[in-house]
Structure 1
Amino acid sequence: MEDVPLPVLFEQARKIHSTATESGADQELVRKGCEALKICEDMVSKLGLFSANETKDDISTTNLKYLLVPFYIAELTEKIAQSDRILILKASQEKLKEFISFCEAMELVPEEELETSIEGGSNSLVDRRAQKIARFKRQRAAESKLLEIKERKERRGRSSKAAALSTPVEAGEEDVLDDDVEEEREAWLTAISLAICKAFDLLEMLKKEEEILSAIKEKQSKDGDKEFSQDVLDDRTKRAEAWHRDAAVRARYTKPAEPITCATFAQDVLEGRAKVSQAHDHKHQPMIFGPASLVGGSLTSERERMAAQVFQPSFRLPTMSIEEAGLKEMEMMNKWQERNAKMMEEANSSWYKDNSKQRPSEDDDEDDDAAQDKARAWDDWKDDNPRGAGNKKLTPCG
């Protein structure tokens, strides 16, 4: 590897890093990547590509990518499997701190992270949560920007390739490569910003892991180096399961019995414990939501039932089963048919027909004679008193 040029070696180490972080930690591949990155680090140091007096604007676009070498070393070192895990954690933390301090000197670390590091970190849960959210937003923005740059570069490459195929190349004309320096610089600066966010998260995680392992090691040294054997763990598991089993048995007497469902009633009928003619109350058994390990298996203890009821859906659950809905709809249909039949019966009843076919009576004849006499008297009066009579004095020529 020492005879390989720095750009080629860096690309090989970068591919190993992406493969190890995406597809799992193959120890041989991880060690090979660490070795290649350390050689890259030595070559960068010997060539003097960076200086403490420079900032990000003073670094050339070609050398920007070599700022990620300590971060890649830290991520691959953390994946090395070794008996003494604390040494691995310390080595990885040292490289992360080196990467963050160098980026801080190059003015690449956000001001929020610098203020937090200067203050020594806030112990408030609200402040730590806000810092996590802001860091996560920066990480998502950097990832989306890198994806956008990659897609833009691929589109430009396809269009240039199509243009080269459609346009004939004249003799002596050289292919001009579209090396967009500004786009490449933007891509590497975005990748460094993404690495900074990941470095802070990884550093916090490694610190917590180191504290836990140190506490366990200290406790083991105080207890006389007594290690937890598999027999002790099995014994604890058996006692916990026995306790939960007894609690489930006790819960049967403390909680009311579950209503029988349609499926259980059908099973009882098939097995001869019940008859079809027996009245059965259709009840809807509520759906159980929770972790897949609990929902997929059988809930044998009260603890598992409570754990399965932790995660509930955001939508409203049905209040009745399909059988209950069918019975309700059938009942509504029966009432509607009964009401229609009653209305038809009233419409076709005898009293309605009798009233419609009833003949005029003597009282009606008397009323007709009186009305006729009144009309004749009114006609006689109009003949004796023509229209306008008695108003001659009111007319202008009267």
Structure 2
Amino acid sequence: MSEWKMEDMPLPALFDQARKIHSAASDSSVDQETLKRAIEALHRCDEMVSKLGLFSANETKNDVSTANLKYLLVPFYLGELTEKVAHGDRLQVIKISQDRFKEFISFCEVLELVPEEETWNSRPQGSFTPEARRALKISRFKRQKAAESRLQEIRERKERRGRSSKAAALSTPIEAGEEDALDDDGDEEREAWLTTISLAICKAFDMMEMLKKEEEMLSAVKDRQLKVSYFISKTGFQVLCVA
């Protein structure tokens, strides 16, 4: 990927570059240097979003402009890309990634973008039975598939509209129904970003659950290693005393 000077880039261009790397990282392997470059760009996006005051805790999703909706994804992208960083301390990577996902979910909750069944504050005590977990996973899976399907429909519609525009330029009759679609860009863009955010929310919850399990496993291994090291050190000390 060509070099780009992020300090000279406006927020939309910087976000677009980082998003392209995120997309590439999702589909295939991306080298660590490019990954870190994207993370750095997203951190800068995060700073710019905060400095510009694009979002407020007093707003709901209806108050956020279509042009700004995409920037809600900055912490989500940071969470996903951070998780892919190769680092000696995997537990530290997990913690940073978890914090970013939590930040994303928390703000989406404020904007009323998270389904009520998923919101942390609305979960009653004792709701984490195996049956409840299974029902929640099934519901989340259905929402994820619905979001993916809707995004595919939007992409296909844009492609048809692109063909219609070319046909119009060549004075070729436009297919029935495509005329109205030409005036539908704004609503369609908003729906696309809201659906993308909905999909990201599903993925964020799944990632947090996966990372939590990995964290518990690695912590258990680390605890065992510490106990073994302590035992060896104590045993060695006792042997020296006997000698």
The alignment status of 1:97 with 2:76, answered yes or no, reads no
Q: 1:179 to 1:11 in 2, by over 3 A?
A: farther
The offset of 1:125, in angstroms, is 1.5
The residue type equivalent to 1:9 in the other structure is: L
What is the alpha-carbon root mean square deviation over aligned residues? 1.8
Q: Which runs of 4+ in 1 moved over 6 A?
A: none
How many residue pairs were aligned? 217
Q: Give the 5 Å matches for 1:80-229.
A: 80-114=85-119, 118-119=123-124, 122-166=127-171, 180-224=185-229
Higher helix proportion (structure 1 or 2): 2
CA contact (8 A) 2:83 2:93 kept: yes
CA contact (8 A) 2:116 2:122 kept: no
- So what's the TM-score if we normalise by structure 2? 0.85
Q: 1:116 to 1:138 in 2, by over 3 A?
A: farther
The residue type equivalent to 1:221 in the other structure is: L
The offset of 1:24, in angstroms, is 2.0
Percent sequence identity is 69
- Distance across 2 between alignment mates of 1:120 and 1:106: 24
- Distance across 2 between alignment mates of 1:22 and 1:180: 27
The residue type equivalent to 1:140 in the other structure is: K
The offset of 1:178, in angstroms, is 5.3
- Distance across 2 between alignment mates of 1:131 and 1:188: 24
* Greater RCO (Cα-Cα under 8 Å, separation 6 or more): 2
Q: Give the 5 Å matches for 1:1-398.
A: 1-114=6-119, 118-119=123-124, 122-166=127-171, 180-224=185-229
The offset of 1:123, in angstroms, is 3.6
Q: 1:120 to 1:30 in 2, by over 3 A?
A: farther
The offset of 1:185, in angstroms, is 0.3
The offset of 1:111, in angstroms, is 1.0
The offset of 1:124, in angstroms, is 1.9
Unaligned 5+ segments in structure 1 are 168-176, 227-398
- Distance across 2 between alignment mates of 1:112 and 1:181: 30
The offset of 1:117, in angstroms, is 5.7
- Distance across 2 between alignment mates of 1:77 and 1:138: 25
- Distance across 2 between alignment mates of 1:121 and 1:198: 24
- Distance across 1 between alignment mates of 2:126 and 2:198: 20
Tell me the alpha carbon deviations over residues 109-154 of structure 1, each in whole angstroms, 9 at most, x when there is no partner.
0011126863367342221111111100000000000000010111
Unaligned 5+ segments in structure 2 are 1-5, 173-181, 232-243
